[in-house]
Amino acid sequence: MTTLPAIRQPCPPGACDCGRDPLLETPGADVRILLLTRAEEKRLIERLETLQSLAELEKLQNRMYAQLGIRVDIAPSFNEVRTMRGISITLGELPGLCRKTRQSIPAAIRRSLEKRPQIAYEILNANDLLRDA
């Protein structure tokens, strides 16, 4: 007997625009994102908030993409970067990704960057913004 993995419970009607139901109804659709239950989301957010290095952040980005299909792009904005708000954190469009999750992942990464500014400096350096500093 095989057990099906738990999928995320639906959001209250009108509270979210994730498109969970149409995703489930589409044959052959990538439903990996629905494996991110609320408990798993909390674990992911906690892990994102306790990042120790840029390498760990990149590893988590790769795992989120491989396991859930979530693409997270982190780059300095086009204007000056004076605070952590100057670093752009965007999630790729993905049907089934809850609105709250779309907001909580970048917020958790920002909190982690504020706790460990050296990660932000490494991001800036990787984009050649601090090469002459």
- With respect to residue 12, please indicate whether it lies within any of the assigned structural domains: no
Q: pLDDT value at position 80?
A: 60
- With respect to residue 97, please indicate whether it lies within any of the assigned structural domains: yes
- With respect to residue 102, please indicate whether it lies within any of the assigned structural domains: yes
Q: Which residues constitute the domain of residue 78?
A: 20-126
The residues of the chain scoring below 70 in pLDDT are 1-4, 78-85, 128-133
Q: pLDDT value at position 115?
A: 93
Q: pLDDT value at position 110?
A: 92
pTM: 0.84
**Both tokens of residue 61?**
């980005």
- Contacts of range 59-65, beta carbons closer than 8 Å, 24 or more positions apart: none
